[in-house]
Chains A and B, each alone.
Chain A
């Protein structure tokens, strides 16, 4: 084979694993992109910030939705369906949860925000979705969320929906969960 042909061949053969790696690189890139722009409704844990707290906030409604992933028998519902809140102030809400089975189970709640462009302005100081819940048979609990909606929220948004889906992760690989947990934070 001619030398130039070999050079073309090597370039192309190198390109293939690079593009394969690029496919995998899309996973963290997607997370970073979503965190920066806040566009897929994912909300990450944020630190307490004095700057976000103001007194000239406006009044909006925040609506809580709870969903059970199929095969998840627990009772799971918000303590209040709708809350009137002020932007620029910290508010607390709770979700009621009960393990209705006779087995010890572990659960993970996954949040989502609609409309998606509100997600970047929703700051969660504390959320049960940042950790797993382990409940004994019949045990019940009130799960806390502490959040603030920033005053920067686009003025056309008057209603935010915060939805949680609860998943049964009892049989999940500990290590995989720990890893994904880190990826989320």
Chain B
């Protein structure tokens, strides 16, 4: 794909407005992308600080630092903030920056809605975090907020939690609608669906998932609201409701949600591996079909989160096989990434290090997921640290490593400056070691029977918990290095070329570095 860029400097090239109003009123996809990315970074650090509290408490058996009630609030808020405030806004930010530039569009299709969908997010998280200072404390029922724990037995602040989830949902839905309308209608002539960059494909599928399931989440919290305040009994057995129904509704949202948090990562990693292998990506169309099948399968596997609620045998067998089926398209993707690297002229700049680590560690997380899919085994593993290890392996060295890889890969395009390669590599190695030291031992203590969500544990789990905590502190504090590297790069550094990376392909590398405020005002020509 090649393109001809015309820089019409004769028509007035108006840059951004000055001062704070630039950010408040902006409808520019690059500004909004930047806002999303900084917001998610802030949430990542807040949620990370909560993880530090959790690991500090678990450093030794017995109650050391916090009260059990506060510990429960920490695990709840850590989960909610990392998912809805960290990973999801980061991917939306990347979509804002990259989707229009990758498809040769001047901006997102609905720029004002874009502004709105970002600016309601800080309010949602302000409300959620303010519940820490309310009577009865913040939500303490875990990020999955199972009823009736989150209705009958919840602290009064649960109403604020429900309202903040509504706002987060509205923001995600608006963001997703914007992405779909942009991709379906604003591609430059010649960018057909099967020529779209994989990141764009991954986001198109993710956006459809968001539109399908975020309203179901909104419905679930609305039912909770009605149970708490309006005397209904959706989830209250005394009034004829059913607590297990809550789990069905929640996981009908929840399982597609976990793919919402990994599909864009698949797109990012495909680009980075292709670039640093200096080869064409192996199996483009199988990548697209794999993502589509993963997305469709995600709607028929939700009950594997609830094998122990007393499902009939036929349902357990169905959900077990459907879950295992997902390993097939996922395996296709991993195979394609490895095949892309095979006999490539590889170099290992920081984004590539993160991408390769993604492939290896995400596969470990996927395999432990396969173990959890086995019904009889799951009765043993359910609600133990093995589950914690599994989903942290797919979310931290999975989703979050891909976001970090994306930042290192595209920041020269965004800021016009190269990041410090030595510091970047240092950040990678600290994170890589930290993540594995934190989460690998959790497999062992989980298999040995340590339950999740408790602030205390039996003495036999003490050693591995201490190791895990040490790893967590290493990983946590090395993210401050990441913050430093990002700020240093934005402030200055070696100027980046337009193409930035030797093997980089795609429309975003044809515009100047840093990317001008307006790109592709006239659509590029694609051969």
**Chains A and B belong together in one complex:** yes
Cα distance, A16 to B211, chains bound together (Å):
6
Contact of B110 among A9, A117, A184 (CB under 8 A): A9
**Least Cβ–Cβ distance between B465 and chain A, in angstroms:** 32
From known contacts A23-B218, A172-B239, infer whether A9 and B312 are also in contact, taking CB-CB under 8 Å.
no
A49 close to chain B: CB less than 8 A: no
Contacts of A165 in B (CB 8 A): 237
**Consensus secondary structure, chain A interface:** helix
| Residue A92 is within 8 A (CB to CB) of chain B in the complex | no
A19 touches B241 (CB 8 A): no
Query: Which residues on the B side are within 8 Å of A110 (C-beta)?
Result: 237-238, 240
Alpha-carbon gap, A14 to B304, bound state (A): 30
Q: Which residues of A contact B233 (CB under 8 A)?
A: 176, 180
List CB contacts (< 8 Å) of A13-70 with chain B: 13, 15-24, 26-27, 30, 37, 39-42, 69
- CB-CB < 8 A to A141: which residues of B? none
Query: Does A23 contact B215, Cβ atoms closer than 8 Å?
Result: yes
Contacts of A40 in B (CB 8 A): 242, 244, 310
Counting CB contacts under 8 A, is B141 at the interface?
A: no
Interface of B is mostly: helix
Verify if A131 is at the interface (C-beta below 8 Å from B). no
CA distance in complex: A24, B223 (Å): 8
Residues of A within 8 A of B238 (CB): 69, 108, 110, 167-169, 172
Residue B252 lies at the interface, judged by CB distance under 8 Å to chain A: yes
Contacts of B231 in A (CB 8 A): 172-173, 175-176
B192 at the A/B interface (Cβ < 8 Å)?
A: no
**B237 pairs with A19, CB closer than 8 A:** no
Whether the pair A1, B109 counts as a contact (CB closer than 8 A) is yes
- Knowing A27-B245, A30-B248, the reply to whether A180 touches B239 (Cβ < 8 A) is yes
- A-side contacts of B313, CB under 8 Å: 117
Q: Which residues of A contact B240 (CB under 8 A)?
A: 110, 177, 180-181, 183-184
Query: A82-99: which residues lie under 8 A (CB-CB) from chain B?
Result: none
A64 to chain B, nearest CB (A): 18
Q: Does A12 belong to the interface (CB within 8 Å)?
A: yes
Judged by a CB distance under 8 angstroms, whether A133 is at the interface is: no
CA distance A19 to B249 in the complex (A): 12
With A167-B238, A180-B240: A8-B180 Cβ-Cβ less than 8 Å: yes
A24-B219, A167-B237, A180-B233 known; A116-B310 Cβ under 8 A: yes
In angstroms, how far is the closest chain A Cβ from the Cβ of B234? 6
Check A17–B219 contact: CB distance below 8 A: no
Chain A residues whose C-beta falls within 8 Å of the C-beta of B132 in the assembled complex: none
Say yes or no: B185 contacts A26, CB within 8 Å. Answer: no
> Contact: B181 with A20, CB < 8 Å?
no
- How far in angstroms is the closest Cβ of chain A from B115? 16
CB pair A5–B239 under 8 Å, yes or no, is no
Q: How far is the CB of A118 from chain B (nearest CB, A)?
A: 11
Task: Check: B293 CB closer than 8 A to any chain A CB.
Answer: no
> When chains A and B are docked, how far (Å) is the Cα of A4 from the Cα of B310?
48
Across the interface, name the chain B residue whose C-beta is closest to A42. Answer: B242
State in angstroms the CA–CA spacing of A19 and B109 once bound together. 23
Which chain B residue lies CB-closest to A9?
A: B181
CB pair B211 A15 closer than 8 Å: yes
> Residues 182-193 of chain B: 1 if any A CB is under 8 Å from the residue's CB, otherwise 0?
001110000000
Residue B296 is within 8 A (CB to CB) of chain A in the complex? no
A37 touches B312 (CB 8 A): yes
Considering the complex, give the chain A residue whose CB is closest to the CB of B235: A27
Chain B residue with Cβ nearest A117 = B312
Q: Mark each residue of chain B from 222 to 259: 1 if its CB lies under 8 Å from any CB of chain A, else 0.
A: 01000000011110011111101100110010000000
Query: Measuring CB to CB, which residues of chain A are less than 8 angstroms from any residue of chain B?
Result: 1-2, 4-5, 8-9, 12-13, 15-24, 26-27, 30, 37, 39-42, 69, 108, 110, 114, 116-117, 165, 167-169, 172-173, 175-177, 180-181, 183-184
Q: Please, could you name 23 A-B residue pairs with CB atoms under 8 Å apart, sorted by A?
A: A5-B181, A9-B109, A12-B180, A15-B211, A15-B212, A18-B215, A19-B216, A20-B219, A23-B218, A23-B249, A26-B216, A26-B245, A30-B248, A39-B312, A41-B310, A114-B310, A165-B237, A176-B233, A176-B239, A177-B239, A180-B240, A180-B241, A181-B240
